[in-house]
Amino acid sequence: MGTVEYLTVTQIVLGVLVRFWIVWVALGLVLAASFTFKKRLGLYGQLFDSGVGIAGVVLCLFWLFTAMFASHISPFNPLTQIPVMKDVLPGAIDPASGKPFLFGGDKLARDVFSRMVYGSRIVLAIAPAATAFALMVGITLGLAAGYFGGRIDTFLSFLANLVLAFPVILLFYLLVTPGIMDTPIPYAMAGLFFVFPIIFFCVLFYTRFRHRPERLYPLLAVTLVLGGWVYAGLVFNADPLNLISLAPNELNIFVAVVFASSPGVFRIVRGLTMDIKTRDYVAAAQTRGERPWYIMLWEILPNARGPLIVDTCLRVGYTTILLGTLGYFGLGLAPESPDWGTAIKDASRLLRSAIHPALPPTIALMSFVLGLNLLADALREQSLKD
């Protein structure tokens, strides 16, 4: 360990800022364009009318660009082990490559900074996508329950309440334990949940363009081809182009998030639908002879988008925290995964007087969730103004 040299605190700070240069450039370009054309950007542009909205956008975009350019930002592969750098303090310079471990090394001699950066890819790949699928399931069932009522509402509400009755952590623990991974249960659940987006968009386009076949058939064809491609890759790991796939442990987490989040979305959409279906414009659509699913998708859903957008931001944040919790307890993702929860767990045994190696992934997780919460607050303010 005596052969390892160290950077000063100033050099570490400057080194971190320089490593993120491509993020600063992308962030500057997007923010400049957003401020210039904010009046034309609808709801997104309105976020720049408040400091809370700007802060939320900046934090979320920072981690989005970090995930996109992770390979350019990270000085090391997140899985590479350099024995001489085991448990080194922040700023230690690798004697072989001359590159510094800006945030130090972990117990397996891996660069904490690189693992933090690559961890953003895992979070931004799983949390928003799983939340999107949960939205598709919750919206589809919530619209039907709220609009039709009766036995349909009673049955679907019972199922939602049954899932919500389970403690969330216990539910996720049961769904991502290794024993469940070896059974057909996750794949059966994935096959059920992942078909909802295909059904949703097919019904959406059919109800809108059923009298215009020149528009309807191309849209249905694109939906079925793209939907089938994504479905085959996610459920059967059979994407012919190898662009879309999920490892068994990632599939379990994905399914667990969709299963646990869908009932919450369902209850929100159901309540909004029961309120909105009493409005005059819905009665006018019924008088015109519009079909129920047309009314649900093109009259009710657009007028419920405000609360749903706010809930989506918060739900992605909750999912991020949940991924961190599962990683910390060693559930779901592979042990060598650079996700933030696993990084915090790997570093938790070390006690240092300098920067603790658990601090960078903790701050990363906290800042991303904070950005989503600020974004949700700004969106809520805009919805109240409207």
| Predicted confidence (pLDDT) per residue in 117-140, tens digit | 999 998 898 889 889 999 999 999
Q: How much is the pLDDT for 33?
A: 94
Residues 289, 171 share a domain: yes
Residues 154, 193 share a domain: yes
In a domain, 316, yes or no: yes
pLDDT at 251 > cutoff 90? no
Residues 201, 274 share a domain: yes
Q: How much is the pLDDT for 282?
A: 92
Residues 159, 93 share a domain: no
Spell out the long-range contacts of 349-354 with Cβ–Cβ below 8 A and sequence spacing 24 or more: 349/107, 350/87, 350/107, 352/89, 354/89, 354/90, 354/104
In a domain, 331, yes or no: no
Calculated CA dihedral for residues 134, 135, 140, 145, nearest 10 degrees: 90
Which range, of 40-49, 310-319, 336-345, 354-363, averages the lowest pLDDT?
Answer: 354-363
Burial 10-44 (b: 16+ CB within 10 A, else e): eebeebbeebbeebeebbeeeeeebeeeeeeeeee
In a domain, 329, yes or no: no
In a domain, 341, yes or no: no
pLDDT per residue over 351-380, tens digit each? 554 567 778 888 999 999 999 999 999 988
Closest CA to 343 of 357, 353, 331, 356: 357
In a domain, 35, yes or no: yes
Percentage of the chain with pLDDT > 70?
94
Residues 116, 198 share a domain: no
In a domain, 198, yes or no: yes
Query: Which range, 95-104, 193-202, 235-244, has the best average confidence (pLDDT)?
Result: 193-202
Residues 266, 152 share a domain: yes
Give the pTM: 0.87
Domain boundary among 306, 321, 336: 321
Tell me the pLDDT band of 179, cut-offs 50, 70 and 90: low
Q: How much is the pLDDT for 180?
A: 63
Q: How much is the pLDDT for 354?
A: 54
Q: Which residue has the tokens 């090394």?
A: 105
| Dihedral sign (CA 40, 43, 44, 46) | positive
Please report the beta strands in 10-155, taking only residues with DSSP state E, as ranges in sequence order. 92-93, 100-101
Distance CA 70, CA 72 (A): 5
Domain boundary among 283, 304, 321: 321
Residues 148, 57 share a domain: no
Q: How much is the pLDDT for 181?
A: 59
Q: How many CB atoms lie within 10 A of CB 154?
A: 10
Residues 135, 44 share a domain: no
Show the domain range for 34. 5-120+346-385
Mean pLDDT score, 334-348 = 80
Domain boundary among 321, 336, 360: 321
In a domain, 145, yes or no: yes
In a domain, 147, yes or no: yes
Give the residue, 235 or 118, on which the prediction is more confident.
118
Domain count, the chain: 2
Structure tokens at 385: 């103004």
Residues 164, 80 share a domain: no
Which range, of 102-106, 144-148, 283-287, 367-371, averages the lowest pLDDT?
Answer: 102-106
Instruction: Please compute Rg for the chain using Cα positions.
Output: 24
Residues 65, 133 share a domain: no
Q: How much is the pLDDT for 234?
A: 81
Q: How much is the pLDDT for 263?
A: 93
Tell me the pLDDT band of 18, cut-offs 50, 70 and 90: very high
Residues 141, 106 share a domain: no
**Average pLDDT over the chain, rounded to an integer:** 87
Separate counts of helices (H) and strands (E) for the chain: 18, 3
Residues 244, 213 share a domain: yes
Q: How much is the pLDDT for 1?
A: 45
